[in-house]
Amino acid sequence: MRLVRTGAFLRAARYARLTPSYTTSSYLVSTTRCNQLSNRCASTSTITYPDQSVPLSDEVDPRKTEDATDKDGATEGFADFLKSQPSGTIIRNADHAQSGANISGKSHIFDSTTNVTDSILKLVGRQLYHNPDHPIAITRSLIEQTFASPRFTHHYASNPVVSTRDNFDVLGFPEDHPGRSRTDTYYVNSKNVLRTHSSAHQHKAFQTLGKRLAKILERDPNKPGGGGFTICADVFRRDSIDRTHFPVFHQMEGAYVWSAGPQREHAIEKSMKYLPKDLDMEVLDEGGPMNQETNPLQYGHSELEATHVVNHLKRSLEGLVSRIFEASQDDNKDVAKQPIKVRWVEAYFPFTSPSFELEVFWQGEWLELLGCGVVKQSILDNAGLEQSIAWAWGIGLERLAMLLFRIPDIRLLWSEDERFLSQFKAGRFNHFVPFSKYPPCHKDISFWVQASPATASPVAAEGSAGVAAAAGGDATKASPADTQPAAFHENDIMEIVRDVAGTLVEDVKLVDEFVHPTSGKKSLCYRINYRSNERTLTNEEVNGLHEQVIMQMKDLPIEIR
C-alpha cells in the first residue's frame, strides 16, 4: 500500500518510440545568482525573491509564428489585444477563432483542442519556488546544493506553455500515449500544452549544455569534460481532487553529461570519486544496473561504461535522499530518529534506458520519490551531444516537501495565510504545526452515464495506475482524439469543481456506482467535500458553490439524477 497514489507525480510508462528533435520556446533562466542572494531576501508574500537572473538563451523560437495564431485565422489585432491583458486572462468570444488568452505575457489563440480554464490559468506564475522561505523553495534549494555549481547550473522555467513536441515528441512519446489525452493534459491549443513535466525542457537544456561542453573540449581535446543542470518548473495535470493532488505541482529535472572524447570512460570512473561515501542508510538494489530483457542497455553503449553511469546516478541520488532526510531529522529533534531505507526499482520511461525509480521507506510505507535513467542516445544526438553519455532524473517537490515538513494537505502549499507561511524559514525543515481544522460539509451529486468503454469504472482505472504514463496519463484512458466531449471522464467533474470552488474543496470521491439492469446505463455518485484550510464555510456559500457545480455539470454528456 502506498501513502500517496503512484502515478500522481511520477508514472511508469509502457511504450517507447523516438522522434525528431526541435527547439523549445520556453526560456530557462539561471538562478545561481538568486541562490547566492537568497539568504538576504526578506519574505513577506509568495514572490519576494529578487529575480536578478538572466535568460539562458534568447534564441528566437522558429515555431512562434506557427502557433495557432495563423492557423485559426486570428487577426494580429486580437493577438495584440490579448497581450495587453493581464497574464492569465481568457477572452472568450462567440466567434471561436477569436478566443484566446494571455499566458505569461504571450498571446495564445484557442482552438477546438483547448481545455485550459480560468482557474488553472490563475495558478500560472505564482512561482512558489522563488519564495526562499516556502517549503517548495527550501526543498528545491537543498537539491541544488547537493548537485552543486559549478558542475551543475541551476535553472527555472517560468513560462509553462510548451509545444507538444517538447513535452512529448522529442522525448519519444508515441502518438497514442495516454499522457497526451485531453482528459489528463491541459491543452492551450492543438500545438501547445501547459507542460505536464519538467522533462519538456530537457532538449533545450541539453543543447545549451552541449555548447558549453564543446567550448571546453575545443580548448583542451584531451581533457574531456562533464557538466550538468537542474531545472525547476511548475507542471500541470488534470487529475483527481484530494489531499495529495493539485492540478499544479512542482518538479525538478536533473541531468549530467560526460562529453565526447577518447578519455570519456576514464572520466566517468574518475567522477565516482566525488560522490558521497559511507552513507548512513540501507540501500536495497536487487535489479542491478540493467537487465537485457526488462531494462536494457542501449544499442551502442558499452556495458562497462553504462554500468559506471548507472552507478554514478544511483549513488548521486542516494546522496541526495540521505542529505534531505538527515536535514529533516536534524531540524525535528523531538521526533525519534528513523533509519533511512531506500530501494531501487526497475522502471520504464520513453526517454531513458535503463530506467529506475527510487523509493524510500518512511513511516511504515514504501513511497516512490523519483524517476531516472540513462538518457536515450537519440535525445543527446538531437541536441548536438553526439558521442556523449548522460543520466537524468525527475523529482516531484510536493511529495518530498509534504513528507519532510509533515504537511497534511497539498492545498496548504498554495495558501497565502500567514499562519502557514510564517512557520517556515530558508534552510530549515521543521514540521508544520496545524493551526486549526475547520468543519467539512459534503454534498453528493448522482448522474447517469452511458456504460461505454470510455466510461468504464473510474475505480478500475485508478487501480491500474501502475501501467500508466510518465508525464501523466492513465493508460486506461482514450487518446486525445476521442476523449471529449462524447464520453464522460472523471477528470471532467474534477475540473468543474476546481473551476467553481478552487481550494475550497478538500476532495471529490466516487462513493457509489451501479449499472441499471434493464437500461444498461451506469449510475455514478460523487461526494464533494467542501472544507477550507483557512476558515469556516457558511451553508449558503457551500449551497451556492454546489449549485454552480450542478449547473456546469449539465454541459457534460451525463444525465443528472
Report the site for ligand DAH in 386-415 (rule: CB under 6 A): 392-394
| Cα-based distances in Å from 547 to 306, 497, 510, 537, 551 | 58, 11, 19, 15, 6
Bridge partners for 155 per DSSP: 30, 231
- Report the Cα 537 to chain-centroid distance in Å: 31
Bridge partners for 341 per DSSP: 282, 361
Q: Shortest approach of ligand DAH to residue 52 CB, angstroms? A: 28
Q: Which of 135, 371, 473, 480 binds ligand DAH (CB under 6 A)?
A: 371
Q: Shortest approach of ligand DAH to residue 465 CB, angstroms? A: 12
Report the distance separating Cα 506 and Cα 243, nearest Å: 6
Tell me the per-residue interface mask from 179 to 218 with ligand DAH, x by CB under 6 A, - otherwise: ------------------x-x-------------------
Q: Which of 311, 309, 200, 300 is nearest to 257 (CA)?
A: 309
Segment contacting ligand DAH (CB under 6 A): 315-323, 366-374, 380-388, 476-484? 366-374
Report the site for ligand DAH in 451-510 (rule: CB under 6 A): 470-471
Pair 255, 375: CB distance under 8 Å:
yes
Q: Which of 336, 244, 230, 353 is nearest to 301 (CA)?
A: 353
- Report the Cα 209 to chain-centroid distance in Å: 22
- Closest to ligand DAH by CB, 56 vs 470, is 470
The site for ligand DAH, by CB under 6 A, has a size of 15
- Closest to ligand DAH by CB, 197 vs 308, is 197
Q: Shortest approach of ligand DAH to residue 356 CB, angstroms? A: 8
Q: Shortest approach of ligand DAH to residue 179 CB, angstroms? A: 9
Q: Which of 432, 431, 434, 433 is nearest to 328 (CA)?
A: 431
Q: Which of 352, 353, 377, 503 binds ligand DAH (CB under 6 A)?
A: 352
- Closest to ligand DAH by CB, 340 vs 395, is 395
Tell me the per-residue interface mask from 6 to 45 with ligand DAH, x by CB under 6 A, - otherwise: ----xx----------------------------------
Pair 126, 415: CB distance under 8 Å:
no
Q: Which of 67, 169, 253, 506 binds ligand DAH (CB under 6 A)?
A: 253
| DSSP labels, 331-380 | T-TTSPP--EEEEEEEEEETTEEEEEEEEEEETTEEEEEEEEEEEPHHHH
Give yes or no for residue 227 binding ligand DAH (CB under 6 A): no
Q: Which of 173, 349, 424, 488 binds ligand DAH (CB under 6 A)?
A: 349
- Closest to ligand DAH by CB, 4 vs 392, is 392
Report the distance separating Cα 187 and Cα 472, nearest Å: 13
Q: Shortest approach of ligand DAH to residue 252 CB, angstroms? A: 9
Torsion of the alpha carbons at 235, 240, 244 and 247, rounded to the nearest 10: 20
* Residue nearest ligand DAH by beta-carbon distance: 394
- Report the Cα 70 to chain-centroid distance in Å: 30
Bridge partners for 509 per DSSP: 527
- Closest to ligand DAH by CB, 81 vs 366, is 366
Bridge partners for 432 per DSSP: none
- Closest to ligand DAH by CB, 78 vs 168, is 168
Q: Shortest approach of ligand DAH to residue 470 CB, angstroms? A: 4
- Closest to ligand DAH by CB, 99 vs 208, is 208
Q: Shortest approach of ligand DAH to residue 393 CB, angstroms? A: 5
Report the distance separating Cα 26 and Cα 52, nearest Å: 18
Q: Shortest approach of ligand DAH to residue 200 CB, angstroms? A: 8
Segment contacting ligand DAH (CB under 6 A): 368-376, 401-409, 437-445, 545-553? 368-376
Q: Shortest approach of ligand DAH to residue 397 CB, angstroms? A: 12
Q: Shortest approach of ligand DAH to residue 168 CB, angstroms? A: 11
Pair 359, 342: CB distance under 8 Å:
yes
Whole-angstrom Cα Rg for the chain: 24
Q: Shortest approach of ligand DAH to residue 253 CB, angstroms? A: 5
Q: Shortest approach of ligand DAH to residue 9 CB, angstroms? A: 7
| DSSP labels, 297-321 | PPTT--HHHHHHHHHHHHHHHHHHH
Pair 265, 308: CB distance under 8 Å:
yes
Pair 361, 2: CB distance under 8 Å:
no
Segment contacting ligand DAH (CB under 6 A): 14-22, 44-52, 271-279, 367-375? 367-375
The residues of the shown chain that bind ligand DAH, judged by CB under 6 A, are: 10-11, 197, 199, 253, 349, 352, 371-373, 392-394, 470-471
